[in-house]
Amino acid sequence: MAQASQDELYAVADFCLIPMGTGEPSVGPQIAERLMYHLAQLHGYGTNIGMFLLVGSRLVSRSGEEGPWSAVSKAIHDCHAAVHALGTPRVATDIRIGTRTDKEIAPGTGNDGKVQRHEGASEKDVTRGFDELDLNEDENDGGAAPEGILRMKYGKQLLRIANRQQNTLTIELEDILEYERTGSELVARIKGNVRRYKQIFCEAVDELMPEPTRDISYLDDVLDTIMHQRAQINAENEEAGQVGFPAQLLRRYDLYFQPLSSDAALAVREVRGKHLGQLITVRGIVTRISEVKPLLLVNAYTCDKCGSEIFQDISQKQFTPLTDCPSDRCAKDGAGKGALHMQTRASRFSAFQEARVQEMADQVPVGHIPRSMVVHLYGGRTRELSPGDVVHIGGAFLPTPYTGYQAIRAGLLTDTYLESHSIHQLRKQYDEMELTPEIQMDIERLKRDRNLYSKLAASIAPEIYGHEDVKKALLLLLIGGVTKNMGDGMKIRGDINVCLMGDPGVAKSQLLKYISKVAPRGVYTTGKGSSGVGLTAAVMRDPVTDEMVLEGGALVLADNGICCIDEFDKMEESDRTAIHEVMEQQTISISKAGITTTLNARTSILAAANPLYGRYNPKVSPVENINLPAALLSRFDVMFLILDKPTRDDDERLAQHVAYVHMHGRHPELDFTPVEPTLMRHFIAQARLRRPIVPPGVSDYIVQSYVRLRKEHKEQEEENKSHSYTSARTLLAVLRLSQALARLRFNDTVETEDVDEALRLMEASKESLEERTEEGGEGDRTVVSRIFRLMKGMASVSRPRTRRMGRGPGGERDMDMDEEDGEGEMMQVSMVDLRSRVLAKGFTETQLMDTIQQYESINIITRSANGQFVRFVDADED
């Protein structure tokens, strides 16, 4: 091999045959042999033929040239000429240039840190070719013409990075696959060695970075000042040599790869050792997220003797700082090298965050516990995850070898982590949902539906038979009321809490599971399997910083969502007290292990419980059956008491419904098409944007209704029939339900009909209990009879027990009457109160008038002359 002088440039050239595309003929062994023969004959100073790699039916050959730059450059030219003469596919060239005295020549870089390239088509050149053609219109432009760049997808992003308007660059593998004819191979190589190709793409982007098109001098930082000073020093003293900056220090962007959409998302337990270094996608739920910390990438030093700036690349978590100045200035003085001092402002830091992703419940085999994986987030990918998010995370699966004493103990074992490149939220928040024109049209069509309320409610778990009023309450729970933040810092919650209590087998748990899946952030847990710490927050030790941190429980994970708690009655009393603060103040106050803080738990509670004795016992009072303290009971806006009453017609319809679902695997045909869960989420997201207000007239109506509820509660307590605790929170519950109904209609004001429906739901929650405790067992269940009993109950409650005795010598006299002395009593009720009460119970005004006419015809009731009162006729008057 020809010897080169010490100062002459020394080069190493690597050649690689690359097939042109799927339409080209395969590379046969004879072509590879002829090419190697030509290469051996062309250069007498040495040709090293590398290994052969068979890819499918294509043979890829690698060879190398080494020697002085003048000889290597001639070899490159002759090699391309030979390839052209043979009609073989392209030859890729990777050149490394340095001096003969260099101990190590970095691939693709020279002694000045700049990338040296040739007219080849190596993997770096393929990358550069993709970038050039996709980043700017003119290949020879080199990124200097903004008008050409602005018409390209990545060119716009590069220009924004140059103008300091963007700091992330995401390369989508779909674009490479679509652009490059051999893109499938390039994409496969990128997916197989992510970190290496990230470096290659960064080098290509550094070359193609255009000049800024606007003044960015006001954005200059310490690094810009140092670069300007270094340029002046290099210009004044050219003999000192051009000392460059590390490429990592000069980059103002973070580069990421977007995996292919066709790549299947893996469960954590499906990630194997063969995936190390590869680009994979993992599906799971985020259980823990650390604080954002600065991660050192390039450490800057300043010499206290010569004033030189020295930079050190950091590639691991631990490094040894430099102490002696390596610059030529200190070496020329001969008085010893100066000491280096770290300059934090000139160093390069990146945001770093660590998350833990756990398997979903449907990914865990029977008898196993969920596995988790550590995810590292850098730069622009930080602050994109929150505990409770269900995500697809694409990134590089990498090992983290132990260092120091841990390496001695661990031996050959290493930990692994996922370096995040892309994050896709599977359950977006209501305010993050993107509307498509098709979904917007469907929402507009739903708005015009006259039976919108009933249709949306019936679309909740259509496989479950009945429970119309329960489903309506759950629909209002999904929509929620308006949360109000007062000027003095007080907050009035708008989230609605619902409790379903009833006999076993009434589909309470199924409704909870459905709601937890439909809600964007839904967490399902059980009372017996949840401790107070598991619901609120636990104190953990951060493995990165070794500090005590809080890990959120189920209520924190369901922030801005719904927390479904099954078997609520089986929780320990000490654990149940943790929910009191969440249900009203919607915060969690923690004071553990020296950590005193308040966590947000802006969640709606949907609880399911069984009565005290397993089934409802009609021989004891409702309060004893429910067995929940009044402090907790009052925090539920609606509490449904669902009893399993044997009725022939209902039982037959239920059995037919269940049999149909088991035979056909779907719900029976309905009178309408159920609304899909995706469309329902978008509809609810649009409805939640409304903030309806309560006008004065409706406010007075709500006040009167609340006073009436308190009066009825007092009488029920006297009769030992109290179902729930009526307090001032009941008034707020009526307001929240009314606001949710107004949101459902996309109305900005609450109307009287909304208040009536809210009151009707509260009454319907006690309907099964009232029917069970009626005198005479089953009783008459027709609409007319039920309205009449309601009318009679109002008359006996609203009228004072007095009787007109007539005119005597002393004038008109009244006499008080006892309950037993009811002869000749004329009871009456106001028509206005009767109408509002009947409508609140779910009946129509037509049914009310039919009831009045029927009982008028048999001389049971009469109406006053002006029609404002309905009077009951005394039997003795007939």
pLDDT digits (tens, 9 = 90+) for 106-150: 333 333 333 333 333 345 555 554 444 343 333 333 333 344 443
Segment 79-107 mean pLDDT: 47
User: For all residues of the chain together, what is the average pLDDT?
Assistant: 73
How far apart are the C-alpha atoms of 365 and 394, rounded to whole Å? Answer: 23
125 and 48 in a single domain? The answer is: yes
Residue 608 in any domain: the answer is no
Q: Provide φ and ψ at 312, rounded to 5°.
A: -130, 120
**536 lies in a domain?**
no
Task: Give me 163's structure tokens.
Answer: 């103008």
Classify residue 376: in a domain, yes or no: yes
What integer pLDDT is reported at residue 209 of this predicted model? 84
In a domain, 534, yes or no: no
Q: Which two tokens stand for residue 284?
A: 């799971």
Are 493 and 586 a contacting pair, CB within 8 Å? yes
Residues 301, 176: one domain?
Answer: no
Is there a single domain that holds both residue 61 and residue 18? yes
Instruction: Name residues whose C-beta falls within 8 Å of residue 463's C-beta, 6 or more positions apart in sequence.
Output: 661, 666, 667
Percent of the chain with pLDDT over 90: 8
pLDDT of residue 86: 55
Say how many C-beta atoms besides its own lie within 10 A of residue 776's C-beta.
Answer: 6
For residue 478, what is the domain's CATH number? 3.40.50.300
Nearest of 390, 385, 416 to residue 402 by alpha carbon: 416
| Range ranked top by mean pLDDT from 464-468, 635-639, 805-809 | 635-639
User: Is 141 within the bounds of a domain?
Assistant: yes
For residue 318, what pLDDT band results from cuts at 50, 70 and 90? confident
Is 340 in the same domain as 407? yes
Q: With H, G, I as helix, E, B as strand and everything else as coil, classify residue 453.
A: helix
Q: What is the average per-residue pLDDT within 802-808?
A: 46
Give 417's pLDDT tier (boundaries 50, 70, 90): very high
Task: State both tokens at 307.
Answer: 């004033």
User: Are 448 and 343 contained in the same domain?
Assistant: no
- Determine the residue type at 632: L
* Position 138 in a domain: yes
Q: Worst-scoring range by mean pLDDT, 26-35, 273-282, 328-337, 565-574?
A: 26-35
- Domain hosting residue 59, numbered range: 9-240
3-state secondary structure of 563: strand
Same domain (yes/no): 304, 439: no
Q: Tell me what pLDDT residue 51 has.
A: 29
**How much of the chain exceeds pLDDT 70, in percent?**
70
Among the listed ranges 452-456, 635-639, 830-834, which one has the minimum average pLDDT value? 830-834
How many domains does the structure of the chain reveal? 4
CB burial of 192-206 (b: ≥16 within 10 Å; e: otherwise) equals ebbeebbbbbbbbbe
pLDDT at 59 > cutoff 90:
no
For 583, counting Cβ atoms within 10 Å of its Cβ (0-12 exposed, 13-18 middle, 19+ buried), the class is: buried
Residue 845: give its domain's CATH number: 1.10.10.10
Q: Which residues does 566 contact at the CB level (< 8 Å), separation at least 6?
A: 508, 509, 512, 524, 525, 526, 527, 607, 608
Please state the pTM of the whole predicted model. Answer: 0.63
44 & 94 share domain? yes
State the Cα–Cα distance between residues 75 and 39, nearest whole angstrom.
8
Backbone angles phi, psi at 103, to 5 degrees: -75, -30
Q: Assess whether pLDDT exceeds 70 at residue 475.
A: yes
> Who's near 719: CB < 8 A, 6+ residues apart?
none
Say yes or no: 746 and 798 in one domain.
Answer: no
Q: Based on the domain organization, do 665 and 686 belong to the same domain?
A: yes
Q: Is residue 257 part of a domain?
A: no
CATH of the domain at 69: 3.30.70.260
Is the predicted pLDDT of residue 3 greater than 90, yes or no? no
State both tokens at 124: 């770096």
Among the three residues 724, 756, 776, which one is the final residue of a domain in this structure? 776
CATH number at residue 384: 2.40.50.140
Q: Give the residue from 216, 202, 210, 201 showing the smallest Cα distance to 147.
A: 210
Say whether pLDDT at 339 is over 50. Answer: yes
277 and 233 part of one domain: no
pLDDT value for 639: 85
Cα 769-774-779 angle, rounded to 5 deg: 115
State pLDDT tens for residues 202-236.
Answer: 888 888 888 888 777 666 666 677 777 766 665 66
Residue 750 falls inside a structural domain: yes
* Structure confidence at residue 40 as a pLDDT band (50, 70, 90): low
Residue 371 CA to residue 358 CA, distance in Å, equals 6
Residue found under tokens 């550094």: 206
Q: Residue 541: beta bridge partners?
A: 548
Same domain as 290, residue 161 = no
Q: In a 10 Å sphere around its CB, with 0-12 CB exposed, 13-18 middle and 19+ buried, how is residue 212 labelled?
A: middle
Same domain, 398 and 467: no
Residue 724 pLDDT grade (very low, low, confident, very high; cuts 50, 70, 90): low
d(CA 496, CA 515): 14
The single-letter DSSP state of residue 567 is: S
Instruction: With a cut of 80, say whether residue 541 has pLDDT above it.
Output: no
Token output for 420: 């995040």
